[in-house]
Structure 1
Amino acid sequence: MINENEKKNTRNYKRSGLAFGVLGAIVAVFVVTTLFQWKGISISINTDEPTAQADELNFGQKQEAVTQAVEETSKAVVGITNIQESRQGTQKAGNGSGVIYKEDGNDAFVVTNHHVIEGASELEVILSDGKKVKAELKGSDPFTDLAVLQIDSEHVDKVADFADANDVEVGQTAITIGNPLGMEFAGSVTKGIVSGLNRNIPVDLNGDKKPDWQTEVLQTDAAINPGNSGGALINLQGEVIGINSMKIAKAEVEGIGFSIPMNVVKPVIKDLESSGKVERPYMGVSLQDVSQVPGSVLQRELNLPADISHGVLVQGIEQGSPAHQAGLEKYDVITAIEGNKVDSLMNLRQFLYNKANIGDNIEITVYRNGEPVKTELELSAQ
């Protein structure tokens, strides 16, 4: 006969067996569900909380997208060597990067930075496979820091795609491809985000340590190092969203680099490719900021009223230029264009290059012998 203890043990065993059976069924359902998910079958789970597995999958997908984007574009990114004349002959003066953006018959075109090719007597392009080919400079523009080179199209395997500037957003993934520190680290890739749009960075064009222009750029925290200049900043689709140009190099600053956006790049390289320069409105004057002229000179020699402390001084006028035809004179002080206050030479350039067009008639206000004078000037191409 079975005593009471044996009966209890039997009942406990059955309960344990039932519990393990239920647990086994749950595990089986989980395993089947997981297998179905990996086979691409969508299973609806009633929860608002993201799972760790989903996060890992999203991370993996993003990493795969980065890899694909780099693979898509890297062959269109090249190295550029600036070769200059010296007393010892020719020598390498610097390295940078560039992007092959167009193929037309026997010719292919590369965009890079003006400062990468500045002063070169010869230019050499190093393709992604290491092959070196000679390049011809089609044109460059110091204001936007852009230049266009031409090479033989037989060497080209890939042409980069340009993104629409309107599709670029703060926070989106940004990937740089270039050649930091020359060709020692050719084809290097860094990743970050677009940190800001429509930034304006002062640029010294003549070396006097004073800003002559403000370059429009987008900001990124993806590392941009010497040698990356002229290389590509791309999105996850492998499209170029900017041409890398510079970074803030201070000990207390980290992760602030700048790239020239496509809305600036596209029209400039079109002009450089076709005519070797960017056609901009032209006045035909040499100018100096009033702020750089001693106050005693302004009042004693120019008879400028004491309350006029802004504007640009006309130092010279080209014969036959729009300024000459408009009757501007040496030592006139330009204080306004089309009713817009002119604070400095950079301010005047920004109006001419960003808001005016060749052929426009503009009203200029100048102070001459202490009195305001207005005149009409028709802008021409330089």
Structure 2
Amino acid sequence: MDYNQYNNYNVNNTGDDSLSNKNDIGKKLVKIVIITSLFSVLIGIVGCVCVFKAFPNLLIDSTTNITKTEKEVTVTDKGIADAVDKVHDSVVVIKTYVNNQLYATGTGFIYKKVNGKYYFITNNHVIEGGDQIKVQFADESEVIAKLENGDKYADICVLSIELSKNYPVIEVGNNVDTRVGDTVFAIGSPLDYSVFSYSVTRGIISGKEREVAVSVSGAMNDWIMQVLQTDAAINNGNSGGPLCNINGQVIGVTNMKLASDKIEGMGFAIPIEEAASYADAIINGEDITRPYIGASLANANTAAAVTRYGIDMQDGVVVESVEPSLSADVAGLKRGDIIKKMDDVEVKDIATLRYQLYKYKVGDTIVIEYIRNGNTKTTELKLGAKK
């Protein structure tokens, strides 16, 4: 026997058996791993199904929360052209003359028509100081108007013209349903009315019941107006024009804006409810009478008051003088007294005092809290009327 051949056989035979055993073991291990993995995946799937069946909102929890906490809002903007057309011919240009010279221009609108007489609303400051007023209609016809009456604190006046020609009366809306964010537009004649008359500006209601201090009698703010705020552009010449909603209804009378390098888009309008109440009173021939306390007053927070009356600078109103036998005198108020409250409402200055005072009627009795010589006192004051 060939030794070498045998030896080679034994070596080769032994190596094949060892490799075969190892391969069998490896295959078994792979099968075990695969089966275990598949079983784990299966268990996971079954577990997830069970969890989702028990808690069906788990995956859509954030979507469900949004649906529950937020309103669905559909915005459809078709423009305001139809509303503008509806209002356009009810709007007029107001021209104020002094000695036959054009003094000021503004805007107004046809508020009512009674027995052939048209009544127009505009701002009192548009016609103040004039001796003749003309109204120019959308068809460019022009007629001299009669001033029925006006009120500088309400900044409302009423003009009238008797005409046989028909013009549309503006539709009056209300602010009960008006919300911040509602679309509004203003129509007016800013700057040069011959070029920019019937300009339309659009915006939103930015705020309601804004209290804005204004000057009525001089350079000092002496009155507070409660107005609508809008970002629709309000320019010189727009005063007295209508602020309208998208239904073409007037909801305010534009009357002022805040102008500054630091301010943009802050215009204001008198709510139509207030404007209409004054206009109706004027049309009905009623006098606009406000209560009067019979005293000359000054702000206590000025250097002049501190020097003149020897007081500390503070909020309040100083009594400069009282008229004999009128309300303040009867109530016992004296020169140098500092009015601090009116019926428990704090009085910061003349503007707030007048604003609160004009909420009352002639004949009402109010409680005044004041300081005299460092002591706080109260008195009852019956409101009279200025003669």
For normalisation by structure 1, the TM-score amounts to 0.75
Question: What amino acid maps onto 1:202 in structure 2?
Answer: A
Structure 1 residue 294: Cα displacement: 4.3
After superposition, the Cα gap between the structure-2 partners of 1:146 and 1:183, relative to the gap in structure 1 and judged at 3 Å, is farther
| C-alpha separation in 1, matches of 2:136 and 2:356 | 39
Structure 1 residue 102: Cα displacement: 0.8
Residues 178-189 of structure 1 aligned to structure 2 (within 5 Å):
178-181=188-191, 182-189=193-200
The match for 1:207 among 218, 223, 228 is: 218
SS in 2 for 1:365: strand
Structure 1 residue 166: Cα displacement: 0.6
The aligned counterpart of 1:336 is 341
| C-alpha separation in 1, matches of 2:105 and 2:308 | 46
Structure 1 residue 214: Cα displacement: 1.7
Question: What amino acid maps onto 1:82 in structure 2?
Answer: T
The aligned counterpart of 1:366 is 370
Deviations 1:137-183 (A, max 9, x none): 12222223221111114344111111111111111111111112223
Whether 1:260 aligns to 2:270 is: yes
The aligned counterpart of 2:356 is 351
Structure 1 residue 346: Cα displacement: 1.4
Structure 1 unpaired stretches of 5+: 1-54
Question: What amino acid maps onto 2:278 in structure 1?
Answer: V
Structure 1 residue 314: Cα displacement: 1.6
The aligned counterpart of 2:328 is 323
The aligned counterpart of 1:69 is 83
Whether 1:191 aligns to 2:163 is: no
| C-alpha separation in 1, matches of 2:115 and 2:286 | 19
Of the two, which has the highest radius of gyration?
Answer: 2
The match for 1:114 among 124, 132, 135 is: 124
Question: What amino acid maps onto 2:126 in structure 1?
Answer: V
The aligned counterpart of 2:294 is 284
For normalisation by structure 2, the TM-score amounts to 0.74
Q: Structure 1 stretch 69-78 or stretch 364-373: which is displaced more?
A: 364-373
Give the ranges of 4+ consecutive aligned residues of structure 1 lying more than 4 Å apart after TM superposition: none
Q: Structure 1 stretch 70-79 or stretch 197-206: which is displaced more?
A: 197-206
Deviations 1:291-313 (A, max 9, x none): 223435433xxxx5x5x833212
The aligned counterpart of 1:169 is 179
The aligned counterpart of 1:78 is 92
| C-alpha separation in 2, matches of 1:373 and 1:159 | 53
After superposition, the Cα gap between the structure-2 partners of 1:104 and 1:345, relative to the gap in structure 1 and judged at 3 Å, is same
Q: Is the 8 A contact 1:112 1:146 kept in 2?
A: yes
| C-alpha separation in 2, matches of 1:357 and 1:190 | 38
| C-alpha separation in 2, matches of 1:143 and 1:97 | 19
Whether 1:138 aligns to 2:142 is: no
SS in 2 for 1:170: coil
Structure 1 residue 82: Cα displacement: 0.8
Question: What amino acid maps onto 1:151 in structure 2?
Answer: I
Deviations 1:5-34 (A, max 9, x none): xxxxxxxxxxxxxxxxxxxxxxxxxxxxxx
Structure 2 unpaired stretches of 5+: 1-73
Q: Is the 8 A contact 2:213 2:351 kept in 1?
A: no
Structure 1 residue 317: Cα displacement: 2.5
Question: What amino acid maps onto 1:325 in structure 2?
Answer: V
Deviations 1:247-298 (A, max 9, x none): 2333443322211112321222223333475322221211111122343543
Whether 1:269 aligns to 2:273 is: no
After superposition, the Cα gap between the structure-2 partners of 1:253 and 1:336, relative to the gap in structure 1 and judged at 3 Å, is closer
Question: What amino acid maps onto 1:324 in structure 2?
Answer: D
| C-alpha separation in 2, matches of 1:288 and 1:257 | 29
